[in-house]
Structure 1
Amino acid sequence: MRIKAPARILATALMLNLISTAVPAADRLADGFAIPPPDCRPWVYWFWLNGNITREGITLDLEAMKRVGIGGVLIMEVDQGAPLGPVPFASDMWRELFAHVLREAARLGLQVNMNNDAGWCGSGGPWVRPEHAMQKVVWSVTEVQGGQEFSGTLPQPPAVAGYYRDIAVLAFPTPSAFRIPDIAPKSALVRGDVMPGARSPEAPSDAMVRRDAIVDLTPNMAPDGSLRWNVPAGRWTILRLGHTPTGAMNAPSPDSGRGLEVDKLSKAALDAYWDGFLAKLVADSPDLVGRTFVATHIDSWETGSQNWTPLFREEFRRLRGYDPLLYLPIYAGYVVDSSEVSDRFLYDVRQTVSDLLLQNYAGHMRELARRHGMRLTIEAYGDTTVDNLAYAARADEPMAEFWSWTPYGAASTLPEMTGPAHFYGKTVVGAEAFTATDAEKWLGHPGNIKAMGDWAFSLGINRFVFHRYALQPWRDRRPGMSMGPWGLHYERTQTWWDQTVPWHRYLSRCQFLLRQGQPVVDILSIAPEGAARTFNPPSPLRLSGYKADP
């Protein structure tokens, strides 16, 4: 076939363009492999122990990290057995030392991620007021005989931290003693894996509370709990419902940093929480925020669940499309209309808790961080009522964890975090790497952990954050400060510390290459709907070598 000259010119130009774009891509891979970018270097969890912090120790630690090819630090302050040091958490002295960290990190070309509170789990502190703390539904029951006027004071439900607010007062004909089993996990008070499609046993007919028989007495009760009501004939139950803090606190933090956990379902509470700590660190070093101070972090959830927030009723209406008022006795275990109806309401409660947590906690924390050019990292799993996969999606960088000395401990978190990262197009997936118990006792080293690291790489992890490096407040004490029973011992006091340069270069090269291209998996594994939702690939998939994403 004869090709005209213009067509030949066009074809040649297209071929040259393809060649010219392919070569730079290949060059970038080769160059990145030869000299990995600084962002691809491994990081460390840098644990500050109970106020034992010095300027000299900070500088020596950061210089030691830079010397061997560490790229950044994730700072947490904990109380794990070290004697109380001279620097209270978040005090003026502490903040000046944190600003010193940022200045030294900038000098050395390192990056800093600061945990959002003291301890390694949660979001809490002494600046969290009870009204901004995680809330739960509580109630008191008063039974009255009908056919007469009731005039009395309804007992206030139990209060935690001296704080209680009413939700509603509802009355209904007294049912039999049957109550919904396992109401705590079903009502999101604690995390529980409720089987999809599972149904509570059908309640006896005399245990049913008919919705059309429920009387809303909320306007009748005075602020002091007193109530006057002409009770219809029969035996009646008056249910006074309110909310109070769960009492959960951040842990394991120094006393100076311990306080109530913030309400994860309230954007207003999170704003106050941010202003109480992280906003101050941002204001102290504005020129380094987003450049050296690059992220804040939420670690694995270990502070329990909550099932209320002051705007829960309004948010429930918005998200679920109906008013929960007459279903509220279900929180106390009563069956409203039927077991099936009650189960459906409890499903909606759990889903609403999850939705609000994703929107007003993880999503809003990410928004607050991004306002300052920072990102949010999250270990998006633990003991609360949330869809872990959607929770991971709210992170700029989801993080998993894996343990050494308890081989492949927490292994299920790797696909649980890499799967959402793949689906939502997140390039970097971190891991709390090589965490160990006291059985490790300084026996770990790159030679006997490398195989486990390669395994984590094969499952999609591409940023190791070594657990852990304990801040060494002294110049030359060995083995120096440790973190109670927890390893891996990975700090400048190790005999092999200065020999880790090739190991860190290897990790940097792996992490660079693993961030290129597109992820490939073998199997799409269907995860159940609803909250709480955990993705744990079936054992045959884990053992067969196949990769599975939810």
Structure 2
Amino acid sequence: MKKRLLTTLMAMATMASVAADDALWQRFASPSDEARTKVWWFHGETETTEEGIDADLEAFKEKGVGGVVFYDQVHGDAAGAFPSMSPEWWRMLKHAARKARQLGLTFEVAASNGYVSGGPWITPELGMRKTAMVDTVVTVVERQSVTLRLAYPGKGFSDIATVMFPDKESLKDICIEPRRLTAEDNRPLTISYDAGRTLSIAAISYATNPRGKGSTGSMNIPGRPRERYFGAGFVDLPPIGDLEYSADGRTWERAAQLPAVENVIGHKSKERTVSFPSVSGRYFRVRLHDWMDSEGKLNKLQIENVRLSARDRIDNWQVKAGLRTEVYYPHEEGEDTGAVDPATVSDVSGVVGPDGTVTLTLEPGTWHIMRFGHVPTGGRTKHGRKNLLGLEASVMSAEAARVHYDHYFGAICDTLSAIGCKPDGMAMDSHEAGIQNWAEGFEKRFSRINGYDITTWLPALAGYIVGDRDKTERMLLDFRKAIASTISSEFYSTFARLCHEDGVNFTSQAMLNIDADNISCRGRVDKPQGEFWAYQANGNYDCLDAASAAHLYGHAIASAEAFTDSPYRSTWDELLRIANLAYCKGTNEFVVCASSYQPWLDRKYDDDNSKHPYIFHRLNPNWATSGKFWNYQARCSQLLREGRPVVDLCIYLGEDLPLKTMAYKLPIVPEGYNFDVCTYDALMHRFSVASQDTAQGRLAVSGGMRYKALVIQDRTFVSAEAQRKIEQLERGGVPVIWCNRGETVAEGLRRHGIGPDLALRSADKPDDKVCFYHRQADGADIYFVYNHSSNDYDAPVTLRTKFGTAEIWNPYTVERKKASMTAGKTVQLHLEPYQSAFIVAR
């Protein structure tokens, strides 16, 4: 009886496994509409016609596209285009939503006219804002009452606080060149200054024209770690020159190199301060030389407002105060000469009149009266229909987010819902409007987050050392972290809440060039989204950041803006190469950038010579052959949504802003392991020690994700609070690999006995490697493998699986074949150049 029962149970288990396998294969061979790629459907370049809408959507459906994101994005002259939200615009939008619903296509709408979130309804008070300051220095010889008119630091100024502190006359900055000087074609230029006596100088400030492509505005691409940043299209600019000093005007020594100011999208800050160990001399000169880039494209250099300071200053404080974002390289700095004693800082805001007039009783000596406030950054929406372009909404204000939502997407959602065509979601592009470091009331939020008042420390936002250098640097880090926290909670979380109240999904990318935590930001939305461009032949890490956010914050979908700026000469198979790289980073949804709406049936909108052609439309000469392209993506996305992701390592990126994967600092991860990245928010609020199913990993994440080890990246800041949490996890049994203590990832993996998820050997170079992604489903381990190489790959690979049989599934041909698996879980894998396959073990 027992034997018959055991046989019956074994047979039932086998039948269940086969049935599950058949169901898995059926989902792969005939993927669901939800797994199908969507397209950003760009409108606004031309007139809009019902026949054009119908033809576009029918072509999408026929070829296997799953849905559209209706997106007004304009790069041309928009001849004949309807104004946004005009009666004609509404009529066409409703028609498009109805037609999509009829065809079974999803219909989402972009968050704004153009990008990314703003319009005429955003007032300067609700727009993006930055700190501004006027520093008035007064010297009195006896106690007296002084009335001053403190100038407004900028148009649209609103006060934060006015502070006063004593100083020394000898510490005043010396302007050695107020004029704007220009050098061209790498010609040297010298600015000379004779102090007439010996001076000690510890800092120099100057304004120069931003040049090149900013480090925080370029995509991070794969490569081995380096000392300095590298990225897609980024050129590491040489210093623009040197500051030199001399006692006699004949023998010169260098005090400091003068770095360039990077040209980052949306930034307007041109000033830079360089701190260095104090030097003494009578003569000083700024020598601009060898400043041109290696390609000779940046052949013009301007410099103005050059100032020397006897006071030790915070190096590159403009970046540390959130007025600009650049990769920061530490170097030898000075001491604390001229540091402001926090006990002497007085808040005199209460006696400053509305017009800036203040009357103060001053004791003998020199006094700084610093009026701090905030002004509009001038950040505006762009590439939309002209009538609804306007200021970008503050990314640090829930009210601004609500006002924008109500005026744009909320109005669209209400209107389409009324005709039975509620949008499926709201989609937000990457934020590229520049920096923001203040919003009304931010001083209260800073105090709540950090536990101390910012008023005493305000001089630090102008580069002054308050107390000592270490305390000031920590305050400035607290400041940037508070900005990042506010962006996540007030901007992204508010939009997510409003979308959920309206019953729609929220897909969003993150911040390009602002002090944000791009992992935490994306974690607040339903579908974290990265992006990859057609020219990035070896992929990028933005998709990894989005997938990490999905895994850390419990989201099933990791989306990607896909194939951006693909030229018409691209073949579908060539584009699938970069698609495969995104899949290997954890992406399981594509939203293609883009399809330019085609209003006519007999001719194509002529964008052949456009800087930004959007080729994924029915009048592309290659459209008729695109079916395999779309179906391949659907099959891959379908399987890459099954079960749960298997990722061995989570790399802690630290706490200094802006936070995103920086390839130049990443540790070398051996082949056979995948990794996610995390930041302070997830470390402190999402991580714990697993007490059950520890074979999946001891590092547990709220929502179900597991990792086998936590890796602490080198060259990153780990606060005392984060250090305590990491050590607590380690004491609980989580393997920690301390790259910031000199350990390599390979050494740490050996120390903890963590074997590879997929043991393989390839060239392991960015342009020549086999990469993979692993999902674990009920009854199956699913490995997506891709040969990113011009060479065949034919070698054994060993799976980390409990199952004893395997098949190879081809997502392009929809063929399956059995693979011989040894007792050691080894499968012989053959992949042609740039071929992919799924290994399904069961």
Structure 1 pair 366/14, CA: closer, same or farther in 2 (3 Å)? Answer: farther
Q: Which amino acid aligns with 2:396?
A: L
Q: Are residues 1:107 and 2:233 paired?
A: no
User: Counterpart amino acid of 2:593?
Assistant: H
Which structure 2 residues correspond to residues 498-513 of structure 1 after superposition, within 5 A?
Answer: 498-513=624-639
- Deviations along 1:294-327, whole A, 9 cap, x unmatched? 1112212211121111110111111111111111
Counterparts of 1:329 and 1:112 in 2: how far apart (Å)? 50
1:473 counterpart = 2:599: yes
Query: What CA distance in whole angstroms lies between the structure 1 residues aligned with 2:70 and 2:670?
Result: 35
- CA change 1:321–1:190 in 2 (3 A) is same
**For the Cα contact (< 8 Å) 1:57–1:473, is it kept in 2?**
yes
The structure whose residues are more often helix, as a share, is: 1
2:395 match: secondary structure: coil
Alignment match of 2:572 (pick from 439, 442, 446): 446
Please say if residues 123 and 250 of structure 1, whose CA atoms lie closer than 8 Å, have aligned partners that are also in contact. yes
Offset, 1:543: 9.3
**Which of the numbers 198, 201, 209 marks the counterpart of 2:333?**
201
1:387 aligns with 2:517: yes
Query: Which residue of 2 is the match for residue 80 of structure 1?
Result: 75
For residues 483-519 of structure 1, the C-alpha deviation after alignment (integer angstroms, 9 at most, x for no partner) is 9322451110022323322332222111111100222
Give unpaired runs (5+ residues) of structure 1.
none
For residues 505 and 357 of structure 1, do their structure 2 counterparts lie closer, same or farther at Cα, with a shift above 3 Å needed? same
Compared with structure 1, are the counterparts of its residues 60 and 301 closer, same or farther at alpha carbon in structure 2 (3 Å cutoff)? same
Give the conservation status (yes or no) of the 8 Å contact 2:158–2:375. yes
Report if aligned partners of 1:41, 1:504 keep a CA contact under 8 Å in 2: yes
The 5-angstrom pairing of residues 36-185 of structure 1 reads: 36-50=31-45, 52-119=47-114, 121-146=115-140, 147-159=143-155, 163-174=156-167, 176=171, 177=173, 178=311, 179-185=313-319
Q: Are residues 183 and 63 of structure 1, via their aligned partners in 2, closer, same or farther at CA, if it must alter by over 3 Å?
A: same
Check 1:288–1:351 CA distance in 2 against 1; reply closer, same or farther (3 A cut).
farther
| Aligned equivalents of 2:79, 2:85: Cα separation in 1 | 15
Q: Indicate whether 1:436 and 2:539 are aligned.
A: no
Q: Deviations over 1:317-353 (max 9, x none)?
A: 1111111111111111222111111111100110000
Task: Calculate the TM-score normalised by the size of structure 2.
Answer: 0.60
Summarize the Cα distance change of 1:483–1:254 in structure 2 as closer, same or farther, 3 Å threshold: farther
Deviation at 1:181, TM superposition (A): 2.4
Bigger radius of gyration: 2
Cα pair distance change 1:110/1:285, threshold 3 Å = same
Provide closer, same or farther for how the CA distance between residues 485 and 285 of structure 1 changes in structure 2, counting only shifts above 3 A.
same
- Out of 417, 421, 425, the residue aligned to residue 550 of structure 2 is 421
Offset, 1:38:
0.7
Q: Go from structure 1 to structure 2 and tell me whether the alpha carbon gap of 1:503 and 1:78 turns closer, same or farther (over 3 Å shift).
A: closer
* Aligned residue number for residue 244 of structure 1: 375
| Matched AA of 1:188 | G
Matching residue within 466, 479, 487 for 1:357:
487
Bigger drift between 375-384 and 15-24 goes to 15-24
Contact 2:44 2:384 in 1 (8 A): no
Between stretches 94-103 and 381-390, larger displacement belongs to 94-103
Secondary structure of the residue aligned to 2:125 is helix
CA contact (8 A) 1:470 1:483 kept: no
2:644 to 487, 493, 518: 518
Q: Which moved more, 1:311-320 or 1:500-509?
A: 500-509
| C-alpha separation in 2, matches of 1:50 and 1:478 | 12
State the secondary structure of the residue aligned to 2:151: coil
Offset at residue 461 of structure 1 (A): 1.6
CA distance in structure 2 between the aligned counterparts of 1:362 and 1:421, rounded to whole angstroms: 14
State the secondary structure of the residue aligned to 2:53. Answer: helix
Distance (Å, rounded) in 1 between the aligned partners of 2:648 and 2:522: 21
Letter paired with 1:359: S
Return the match for 1:329 from 425, 443, 459.
459
| Consecutive unaligned residues in structure 2, runs of 5 or more | 174-310, 678-842
Alpha carbons 2:533, 2:563 under 8 Å: kept: yes
- How many residues align? The count is 533
For residue 453 of structure 2, give the secondary structure of its aligned residue in structure 1: coil
- 1:318 pairs with 2:311: no
Q: CA deviation at 1:83?
A: 3.7
User: Over residues 435-455 of structure 1, what are the superposed CA-to-partner deviations in whole Å (9 max), with x where a residue is unaligned?
Assistant: 226xx2x21131332222223
- Residue number in structure 1 paired with 2:676: 549
Q: Structure 1 residues 110-119 or 12-21, which shifts more?
A: 12-21
Moved more, 379-388 or 499-508: 499-508
User: Whole-Å Cα distance in 2 between the matches of residues 145 and 426 of structure 1?
Assistant: 60
CA distance in structure 1 between the partners assigned to 2:98 and 2:463 by the alignment: 56
Query: Once the 2 structures are TM-superposed, how far is the Cα of residue 542 of structure 1 from its aligned partner?
Result: 7.9
Deviations 1:404-445 (CA, angstroms, capped at 9, x unpaired):
245236x121222222222333221122222226xx2x2113
In structure 1, distance between residues paired with 2:93 and 2:600: 17
Higher relative contact order, chain-length normalized (CA < 8 Å, sep 6+): 1
Within 5 A, what are the aligned runs for 1:272-311?
272-287=403-418, 293-311=423-441
Rounded to whole Å, the distance in 2 between the matches of 1:74 and 1:460 is 22
Secondary structure of residue in 1 paired with 2:644: coil
Query: Secondary structure at 2:514's aligned position in 1?
Result: coil
Per-residue deviation, 1:22 = 4.8
Mapped partners of 1:530, 1:495: distance in 2: 48
Residues 13, 370 of structure 1: alpha-carbon distance in 2 compared, 3 angstrom cutoff: farther
Q: State the distance in 1 between where 2:394 and 2:667 align.
A: 39
State whether residues 51 and 89 of structure 1, in contact with CA within 8 Å, keep that contact through their aligned partners in structure 2. Answer: no
Q: Which letter does structure 2 place at the counterpart of 1:389? A: I
